[in-house]
Amino acid sequence: MAQIELDPRWTITGHLNGGYLAAVCGQAASEALDGATPLTISTHYLAAARGGGPADVEVDVLRRGRLSTARVRLSREGTLLLESLVTAGTPAPDLRSLEHAEAPIVPGWDDCVDSGASEFAAQPGMDVLRHVELRLDPAQGQAIAGGPALERAVVHGHIAYRDGSPADTFLVAAAWDLLPPTPWFVHFWNQLPTVAAQVVLYPGELVGPLVLEARCETIRDGIADETARIWDANGQLVASSRQTAVVIPA
């Protein structure tokens, strides 16, 4: 077990972002697997991670090879916060491909709304929007700012580090959870904490800023199912995710 320092810049209303925590697990597994590139991160969130600061990380290597797998547990003061299974490595090369996940048509970077300058970001504790720059399609940004609700919970935008740092694997591994909860855009305002998520990462060169799309098509019996995809600036799919959230009654 080792101690790490969780970065407070990734907090939302005092809680560390779930995508950030998944990315931390991917990074910890990569380090234990001699720098192998994370390909999947499957995480179960067990307790809220409140604020930055020290935490304990335990990595158990379950398999080594072209594809290696590690279990990562993150805890604080004896409380287990989450557990991830991470697969990393280099798949066998194959020239065949299937590319049906086309990037959405999103207004350009300068034509999208900077969420960091919105009323949403003005709420206390929105530290993550000062660390990453999230720009929403203007019509969708209006929906979450009190304008008319969208007909469907499908949202897109651009994302980059606010300080101008280039996009990297860590940002890709976190980006699936950086949009506001997609149901809010159809004015389903309940809190929707994530209980489990699986992220698939496609290796390769990255060109930022990234393009995001998230959609929620089913909320029933207190369970919400949300998917997200991430492309780089060249239209190359770099990650996809599926997360399960629970609805907290208003």
pLDDT in tens, 166-222: 999 999 999 999 999 999 999 999 999 999 999 999 988 999 999 999 999 999 999
The mean pLDDT value of the chain amounts to 94
pLDDT in tens, 65-79: 999 999 999 999 999
Quote the longest CA-to-CA distance of the chain: 52
Predicted TM-score (pTM) of this structure: 0.95
Q: What is the pLDDT of residue 7?
A: 97
pLDDT in tens, 107-157: 999 999 998 876 655 666 789 999 999 999 998 989 988 899 999 999 999
The whole-number average pLDDT for the span 219-226 is 97
